[in-house]
Structure 1
Amino acid sequence: MLRARPDLMPETAPTLRSHVEVAGHALKPLAAGALYWEAEDTLLVADLHLEKGAAFAALGMLLPPYDTRSTLSRLGKIIAHVDPARVVALGDSFHRSECADNLVAEDLAMLTKLQRGRDWFWICGNHDPHLPDSIGGTVCATLSMSGVTLRHEPSEAPSGPEIVGHLHPIARIARRGTVIRRRCFATDGKRLVMPAFGAYAGGLNVLHEAFRPLFLRHQLEAWMMGRHAVYPVLGSLLLPD
């Protein structure tokens, strides 16, 4: 039987690295599923999938309608802690483009408050290719920062380093007789795929065929999300589903 929510290793592990490198840039993965780029004072999140519950309800599949509030609340705690000058949402921020027009007043007010005093960029995803002005911020297809391209879907033939979302990576390992499966940041040092941040977002094992062309497999690391920290795990230690 699996233990309830086991963590990966002691929080005080002396060899624990706190930053992942992408093309020489040090980025801090956070246990809540966001990435902080201190040199750019930028917080990155991916795949919020806001209003997924509402989108499912419209199809007759009822889910508790609290995912947007929960996701924005979690994001708000990170923003309050980091206080970044810029936030970049890497696509699929809304489960459907039209959902962005239908935020309840309380959720829109919460989103507006999160944007106050900082730059905010919405990168369009496959779920939300069009976004309305009512949600604030700047809508764009891609964004470039210090030679790193920020986009939603991994490019088929990247011309340089990139940070992306879309695939909702999850890693699976065995430790002390327990199998642990967690959302993760997946990287080979040139490309980084962000975990999905949304409360209702699912996940795909990083050993799935969809990830094969994205990484140099011998350099793959999965930074797995623990309760209080994020832990780098060599690709050779990962398990398929």
Structure 2
Amino acid sequence: MVPVSFAFPFCGDEFRLVQQRALFWPRENALLVADLHLEKASFFAQHGQLLPPYDSRETLERVALAIRETGAKRVYTLGDNFHDSAGSGRIEEHAAGMLSALTRMVDWVWITGNHDPSMEANSGGTIAVELELHGMVLRHQAMRGETRPELSGHYHPRVQLKIHHRHIRRPCAVVAHNANQTCGRMILPAFGALTGGMDAADPAILKALQPATAIDAVVPTRQRLARFPLWRTAA
């Protein structure tokens, strides 16, 4: 397991990547997770594609572990919390109990996404379309042209690495820097157990983070946070 001791400087503050997929904000004592896609398996089952119906349990176990590791008192989810808006009413009893316990344990805020724009907080927490916290915008999908610091999800970014002659795809954060490198925007990896991924260098991701002078993929390893350049402005 990747430790939480790697500092992640961003916009003049300190963040930490947790479990390779979540972001901890120590100053706010807050955990941020994107794209949980709870009840994705049950959604597919409704359409005839049967998958093991335990994805929500596994995802919520991951969230609970991240809360314990960090001591977070707040959780912000950055959209696509459920795979569809009806998922919040379809969640099976055991997972619903897990979620209710988590939303009682911490101050929980659901930011909605394109998959769940009409979700209801049936298991606790509060709902918002987006938030601005200490000048940082929290939303589901990066808004092209945004000049404020921004944290988002939506794209499920991954990067391909070559380790010991093997090609491995890892979830990553994608960070865009502005001209003076003092601030920027970040897309978080998908946190859910049943989520795929998009190449971090995909044009859709790079376009969403403009304007920028540099865009990097950030991947936690056992020893350090590794950065991989994805895009640079022409010299």
TM-score by length of 2: 0.87
Q: Which of 84, 97, 101 is the equivalent residue of 1:96?
A: 84
Counterpart for residue 169 of structure 1: 157
- After superposition, residues 192-231 of structure 1 pair within 5 angstroms as 192-213=186-207, 214=209, 219-226=214-221, 231=225
> What number of residue pairs does the alignment pair up?
223
Distance in 1, Cα, partners of 2:68 & 2:230: 36
Gaps of 5+ in 1: 1-6
Counterpart check, 1:40 vs 2:34: no
In the alignment, is the contact (CA less than 8 A) between 1:183 and 1:225 conserved in 2?
A: no
| Identity percentage of aligned residues | 35
Distance in 1, Cα, partners of 2:161 & 2:212: 16
Distance in 1, Cα, partners of 2:100 & 2:39: 16
Distance in 2, Cα, partners of 1:28 & 1:76: 17
RMSD: 2.3
Distance in 1, Cα, partners of 2:154 & 2:47: 22
Amino acid at match of 1:100: S
In the alignment, is the contact (CA less than 8 A) between 2:88 and 2:121 conserved in 1?
A: no
* Cα offset, 1:184, TM superposition: 0.5
- Greater displacement, 64-73 / 211-220: 211-220
In the alignment, is the contact (CA less than 8 A) between 2:201 and 2:230 conserved in 1?
A: no
In the alignment, is the contact (CA less than 8 A) between 1:51 and 1:94 conserved in 2?
A: yes
Counterpart for residue 3 of structure 1: none
Query: Cα deviations across residues 30-81 of structure 1 (Å, max 9, x unaligned)?
Result: 1341100001110000000000000000010111111011111111111122
Decide which structure has greater strand share. Answer: 2
Counterpart check, 1:150 vs 2:138: yes
* Cα offset, 1:157, TM superposition: 1.9
Counterpart for residue 178 of structure 1: 166
* Cα offset, 1:216, TM superposition: 6.4
Q: Which of 52, 55, 58 is the equivalent residue of 1:64?
A: 52
Query: Cα deviations across residues 111-149 of structure 1 (Å, max 9, x unaligned)?
Result: 111122421100010000012232211100111111110
Gaps of 5+ in 2: 178-183
